[in-house]
Amino acid sequence: MKSLPLGASKAPIKFRMPTAENLIPIRLDIEIDGQRYKDAFTWNPNDPDSEVVSFAKRTVKDLKLPPTFMTQIAQSIQTQLAEFRSYEGQDMHIKEKIVPIKIDLRVNNTVIRDQFLWDVSNFETDPEEFARTLCEDLNIEDPEVGPAIAVAIREQLYEVATQSVSSARETRVGKKGRRGIENVTNSKTGNSALDLLKLFGNKGSVIRKRKEWYLYEPIVDILSNEEVGALDAREELNARLKKKLDEKEDSFQTRYSHG
Amino acid sequence: MMPSSEGDIGRDLYSIPGSSSWFRWDEIHETERRALPEFFDGSAASRNHRVYKEYRDFIINKFREDPSRRLTFTEVRKSLIGDVGTLHKVFLFLERWGLINFGVSGGRPSPPEEVGPQVEVEEPGAGVQLVPASAKLPSGRLPVAANDPGAGENGFRLPPLSSYSDVYGDWAPGKGPVCAVCGDQCASGRHERPMEGGFVVCLKCSENKNGTEEKSAGDNSVHADGNANHASDAWTDAETLLLLEAVLKHGDDWDLIAQHVRTKNRLDCIERLIQLPFGDHMLSTFSDKYGARNSGNQATNSRAIQHASGKLTQVSKTDGHVQNDIKKKVAEESTPVHPSKRRCIPSIANATDSLMRQVALLSTVAGPHVAAAAAEAAVTALCNENPCAEKVFIIVDDEARRKLKSFPTNNEPKSDVKVEDQDVEMHKQTDTPELLPERNFDATAFQIKAAIATALGAAAAHAKQLADQEQREMEHLMASIIEAQMRKIQYKIKHFKELEFIMEKEYILIQKLKESLLDKWVEVIQQTFQARIPRWKDHAFPKSLLNNGS
């Protein structure tokens, strides 16, 4: 019966998703000729790469997208897979860390916002099961919501996992000055880890204060079709604007960096 | 056991399956350790005993805030700090063992098949509204609403004081359904199954069985304030009286009965009889398969009860002489009924009968003195317990005493003591209604209590007698067994004696034979000696003769 001091890291293990099943989240957002395809799902990295192509083909066929999408989809998936693979051989130092996971999604007509704690060191967690329970408890009828939540959870877990990989750590340290945001996130998760002592030690209590309950409660909204349409339109607008802005910035940088 | 006071819900009753009886609030059981090892193996700082216990206690308490509702995981996880995966495991564990969401409908994983008999974990408290008198009394004899499908309550409620006119005033077949209890038209919807006797009860009073008791008391009374709102085809008291007489006289013959009650036709009579509280009983009496003997007996009973009711009806409005009349009636009934005590037994305790009837029945069985003693004891105990009761009983006391003098209460001391014990015990369990607004209501309550106590006492006395008898029989049987054994042994002894005697005789014979043999031998030797045969060696000299000294 080994008892670990608080915050100690376990023996490093090879990089993987800190969940029961090593499935990685894939997010697709492709726009060609005014047609947009957005999707998010989990992928098993152990599948052969040929699967990617066949998946892309199938998707295009099922959703009746123009065939140009196929290559784009396949490419996107492969890029993300490659990123995952780049971490794969390295060691992961998972400390006992309980991080807050935030959900803020709109899936068809359902908007869901939620926040909860997740133990990154617990390798037996199952985001799909959690999402399923959540949807059942909240009587969400749309069957697409559950998987969307699961993917969102996985994405955040993936983030945490990559941060704990040794090489990433080193690079992070180097870039500390530039990436202010990352610091903030780092300290946020650091906060949770610190809380462990207070909460789970002898003097604390794991019962949350009542006034804070609302923060950790899921909020579900069902939108009407008009609202959905409006939101979609707005999102598209934003995306386009952002793209334009990015392009401008890049060109600006290049202009002045070369100048 | 925590005493439960009026209106205080106190500690509630939760059920969990029998297989989960290991659960204790202040412990962590082996089952829990095995199912959720990650809390107890020190693998993480965020999981330890205290943490587990807090999670568990919180979840269970949350569920028990509203046990009729299904508790969802999402509700609890917002209030608990910790990994949701682990929390979910704890939640599922508790749900699987039925410590939460037990018996709640919902399409969720069903509890394991070993759900044994339900176990009540918490102390039984007033999960039920305790209402005056007899909520805790053995309900076998009391008119607890057996017909009430929606009974959330165990006790029976005393009716708001309903006078004769309230109850019987509108008791006309022509009018709409009138609640037999509160006297209002059943606007709020009728109880689906009319209670025995064909009463219709409005939903509000649907648990109320006790109304019948009031009715039988006031049934045939000639009340000063008559019934103002009698419909044209309503039954007057005189008619009812005639009807009852006719029924007793003619039994099943409705034509004759209708003749007797001149103003009503056959159907009306039948209907009316059914509506009467004991009408059913009378009807069943006559079609009883035990035949005339029993029915005769029961008719006697009914007549006696009738008589008693008649007596009861002479009572003043406050029913103050209930006690009094029990005793009178009991005395009157005792003689004709006593010899047929055994036969009385089949007629006992239809639990939905009115209270007074049951008291009457029990008193007849137990004997007059016992019942009187029981009644006395009940009244005394009640008085001791509650000073207000005294006020009530003082009214009746004098009269009762006067009448009681006519039958000496030679209490079989044992049964009396026993009765008192029973009463005292019972009274400890009942709660006296302190809050009742009306004095009359109080009076009735106490008297009813006293009546119940009497019933109990009478039953107890009878039971004791039966028990004594059984004891005696057992002893008798034992004695006869022992006697039989003794006789067997004695026969054996005799037999052995005879054998011995025979043996002795034979022994003597043998001795004689031996001697005669010896003599003969001597003779033979003498003869040979005299015949000058040379002596020969006595090879064949029998050794036995040698050894035998004499």
DSSP of B439-487: HHHHHHHHHHHHHHHHHHHHHHHHHHHHHHHHHHHHHHHHHHHHHHHHH
In the numeric block, which tokens belong to residue A199? 């909460």
> Average pLDDT, stretch B425-447?
55
Q: Which of B46, B47, B54 is nearest to B79 (CA)?
A: B54
CA–CA gap between residue B204 and residue B134 (Å, rounded)? 20
The answer to whether B261 and B269 have CB atoms below 8 angstroms apart is yes
Mutate to test the interface with A, among B33, B46, B60, B91 (most CBs of A within 10 A): B46
pTM of the complete model beyond 0.80: no
CA–CA gap between residue B453 and residue B115 (Å, rounded)? 40
In the numeric block, which tokens belong to residue A68? 């140009």
- Going by C-beta distance under 8 Å and a sequence separation of 6 or more, which residues neighbour residue A166? A12, A90, A91, A92, A93
Tokens 């334009």, residue located: A244
CA–CA gap between residue B375 and residue B393 (Å, rounded)? 12
pLDDT for the residue numbered B484 = 96
Residue A129 — φ and ψ, nearest 5°? -65, -40
For B209-242, how does the pLDDT look when each residue is reduced to its tens digit (9 = 90+)?
444 444 444 344 333 333 334 444 677 888 888 8
Give the three-state DSSP class for A220: strand
- Going by C-beta distance under 8 Å and a sequence separation of 6 or more, which residues neighbour residue A175? A182
Model confidence at B146, pLDDT cuts 50, 70, 90, reads very low
Give the three-state DSSP class for B219: coil
Model confidence at B163, pLDDT cuts 50, 70, 90, reads low
Nearest CA distance, A129 vs chain B (angstrom): 9
Which of B45, B78, B79 is closest, CB to CB, to A96? Answer: B45
Q: Using an 8 Å CB-CB cutoff, list chain A residues near B101.
A: none
Buried b (16+ CB within 10 A) or exposed e, B433-463: beebeeebbbbbbbbbbbbbbbbbbbbbbbe
Instruction: Choose the most confident range, by mean pLDDT, from A52-66, A114-128, B490-504.
Output: B490-504
Return the amino acid letter for A92.
M
Q: Which of A36, A34, A69, A35 is nearest to A55 (CA)?
A: A69
Q: Pick the more confident residue, B550 or B78.
A: B78
Model confidence at A28, pLDDT cuts 50, 70, 90, reads confident
The nearest alpha carbon in chain A to B43 belongs to A3
Cα–Cα distances in Å, from A79 out to A104, A188, B148, B460, B465? 25, 29, 72, 90, 96
The answer to whether B80 and A206 have CB atoms below 8 angstroms apart is yes
ipTM of the complex: 0.77
Asked if residue A155 has pLDDT above 80, the reply is yes
Residue-range domains of chain B with CATH:
18-97 (1.10.10.10), 238-283 (1.10.10)
Cα–Cα distances in Å, from A19 out to A163, B52, B85? 16, 22, 10
Model confidence at B100, pLDDT cuts 50, 70, 90, reads confident
> Average pLDDT, stretch B120-142?
42
> Average pLDDT, stretch B24-39?
85
- Which residues are paired to A31 by β-bridges? A36
Q: Percentage of chain A with pLDDT > 70? A: 78
Q: Pick the more confident residue, A90 or B403.
A: A90
Cα–Cα distances in Å, from A245 out to A36, A241, A242? 19, 6, 5
Q: Which residues of chain B have a Cβ shorter than 8 Å from any chain A Cβ?
A: 41-48, 50-51, 54-55, 58, 72-75, 77-86, 88
Largest CA distance in chain B: 150
Q: Using an 8 Å CB-CB cutoff, list chain A residues near B45.
A: 4-7, 96, 196-197, 200-201
Asked if residue A135 has pLDDT above 70, the reply is yes
The answer to whether B58 and B76 have CB atoms below 8 angstroms apart is yes
